[in-house]
Amino acid sequence: MQTDWIIINDYCEKCHIEPSFIILLEEGGLLDVEDREGERYFPASQLRELEQYTRMYYDLSINMEGIDAIHHLLKRIENMQEEIKRLKSRLHLYEPDF
């Protein structure tokens, strides 16, 4: 499976954000970054998450610790929603047909 990558400096320039913000996200384990041929990239699949983090940080003034906490809470909610789906699916096996 091929992954599309976005150049960090280009993204930061177009979106008017500091590259140091991307580094903070990488250090916090919230964004995957790869070095290739003298450029730093992040996967396009993480673009939506990066945009969310950017809004939290720049628009809502949420610090990195807050972004990390929100990220973990959203992942827990997502996991619980998946579990609810599985449980509902299993429950349908025991419902009588009328």
Q: Is the pLDDT of residue 98 over 80?
A: no
Give per-residue pLDDT as tens, 17-55: 999 999 999 999 999 999 998 999 999 999 999 999 999
Statement: 5-92 belongs to CATH 3.30.200.20: no
Q: What is the pLDDT of residues 51-95, one digit of tens each?
A: 999 999 999 999 999 999 999 999 999 999 999 999 998 888 777
What pTM was estimated for this model as a whole?
0.80
Q: Measured between alpha carbons, how far is 34 from 5 in angstroms, rounded to an integer?
A: 9
Which residues are within 8 A (CB) of 49 and not within 5 positions of it... i.e. 6 or more apart?
30, 31, 71
What pLDDT shows up at residue 96? 72
Q: What is the mean pLDDT of residues 1-12?
A: 87
